[in-house]
Amino acid sequence: MNRPRSLLRLGLVTACAGLLAAGAAAGGLDGLDIRIGKALFERAWVPAPSSTKADDGLGPLFDARSCASCHPADRRARTSVDAQGHLDGRGMVLVLAQKDGKGDPVYGRRLQIDAVPGLAPEGILGVTDTALPDGLTRRVPAPDALAYGPLSPATGLSLRTAPDLRGRGLLEQVPEPALLALEADQGKGPDAVHGRLRRVTLPDGATAIGRYGWKAAQPTLASQSAEAFFLDMGLSTPMHPEPWGDCTEAQAACRAAPHGRDGEDGFEIPDALLSRVVAYVTSLPVPETPKDGVGARLFAATGCAACHRPALPTAGGGQARLFTDLMLHDLGPGLADTMPEPGAAAGEWRTAPLAGLSDALARDTGLLHDGRARSVEEAVLRHAGQAETAVRRFRALPAGRKAALLAYVSKL
């Protein structure tokens, strides 16, 4: 079912190369990279073969047609829950994995909710929300209408929201020695937070610090972006060369469907395109931090800042003001999913950056990894494990000071 890739895709890359060469001569290389990357980020990909051959190669199974579908305006997408418990929107994905890190033997590593013509989507994303006695909500993934039979009993599930991307390129610029020093020091304080950096094994056997994703599974923005192209859109990259995306051997029709692998260097998203998407995301500025001395002091005094560090140093003397320490922390069984993976336990989560949280609240995208919390207070109260001391201090605050702290965090 393979076919020669159109010269249009090659023409796009050639044109990009020409623009970049001209830009370099004029001192505008970075700006051209970013503009090309923005266009690729917003591009709606289509299945192969197509008359718009520079845009094809989507799927065969996929969750979204573009990066911007899950990250509109570079931010979080809203996903609502209907009366049947189904999720409406492109702001979440369902991750599937077994204890060895491999995906489900039939469904792979994602439950894809869409497909090219002639194939059935894998299923419908759904949740079961249960009101708890304390007024909070317990959320459990509940996939529905599974088209290829039941999931393996050994497969764990983890619902993940698509993050705000603004400023996240700075996470890669935090020097490794600074993170190692923070890891060594963090467990010495009275709260004994004991965060740990995730060490990720690279294809060549070396290790690197994980910085991206809810479980810190990816060390670079490039590897995170390549995985999103591969799993969420079914587009091959040098890091994930399989032209059928997440289709497993059990999904023979999916693997036999047309694809666009015969493009530049044999990939639907070659390095020439991937690097420009990364350049665009890297260029996104950090959301502005509110000027609120009282709120900031309360944030530190309760212990929130022990993990959600307001700033990390970056190479060259700058700061990444994103409110994270990039470490995994055990947040207790209430926030654990059913999917332990090599290098991260079911209840461990990388400290989520809080920069941009005000936008998530304004558009009601939901908070925490699965979107269950509708307010900052609910998100705070869901924390346990290593965050128990901070939550206890939060509960003990007088009403006025608690409101001031919540107002500060809600403006981040």
Banded pLDDT at 51 (limits 50, 70, 90): low
Radius of gyration of the chain (CA): 22
Residues facing 81 on adjacent strands:
87
- Give me the half-sphere count of Cα atoms (radius 13 Å) on the Cβ side of residue 296: 10
What counts of helices (H) and strands (E) characterise the chain? Answer: 13, 14
**pLDDT at residue 75 is higher than 80:** yes
pLDDT per position as a tens digit, 318-327 = 999 999 999 9
pLDDT per position as a tens digit, 353-383 = 999 999 999 999 999 999 999 999 999 999 9
Cβ atoms of 171 and 208 within 8 Å: the answer is: no
H-helix or E-strand spanning residue 277: helix 271-283
Q: What is the DSSP letter of 238?
A: T
**pLDDT at residue 54 is higher than 90:** no
Banded pLDDT at 184 (limits 50, 70, 90): very high
Residues 77, 364: Cα–Cα separation, whole Å: 9
Q: What is the DSSP letter of 227?
A: H
In Å, what is the CA distance from 106 to each residue of 18, 59, 77, 174, 311?
Answer: 44, 16, 28, 39, 43
| Range name among 36-40, 135-139, 222-226, 265-269 with the lowest pLDDT average | 265-269
User: Quick one: CA dihedral 167, 111, 236, 60, positive or negative?
Assistant: negative
The residue with tokens 């076919």 is 3
pLDDT per position as a tens digit, 287-299 = 999 999 999 999 9
**pLDDT at residue 397 is higher than 70:** yes
Q: For all residues of the chain together, what is the average pLDDT? A: 90
Residues 234, 259: Cα–Cα separation, whole Å: 9
* CA 24 to chain CA mean position, Å: 32
Q: What is the DSSP letter of 114?
A: E
* CA 393 to chain CA mean position, Å: 30
Q: Is 296 exposed, middle or buried (0-12, 13-18, 19+ CB in 10 A)?
A: middle
Q: What is the mean pLDDT of residues 85-93?
A: 95
pLDDT per position as a tens digit, 156-181 = 999 999 999 999 999 999 999 999 99
**pLDDT at residue 2 is higher than 80:** no
Report the candidate in 386, 401, 410 with the shortest Cα–Cα distance to residue 335. 386
**pLDDT at residue 409 is higher than 60:** yes
% pLDDT > 90, the chain: 82
Q: Is 75 exposed, middle or buried (0-12, 13-18, 19+ CB in 10 A)?
A: buried
* pLDDT score at 49: 77
Residues 120, 136: Cα–Cα separation, whole Å: 36
* pLDDT score at 114: 97
* pLDDT score at 261: 60
Residues 335, 384: Cα–Cα separation, whole Å: 8
* pLDDT score at 50: 66
% pLDDT > 70, the chain: 90
pLDDT per position as a tens digit, 328-352 = 999 999 999 999 889 999 999 999 9
Q: Is 362 exposed, middle or buried (0-12, 13-18, 19+ CB in 10 A)?
A: exposed
Report the candidate in 374, 137, 108, 75 with the shortest Cα–Cα distance to residue 232. 108
Banded pLDDT at 262 (limits 50, 70, 90): low
**First-last CA distance in the chain:** 50
Residues 63, 231: Cα–Cα separation, whole Å: 8
Banded pLDDT at 12 (limits 50, 70, 90): very low
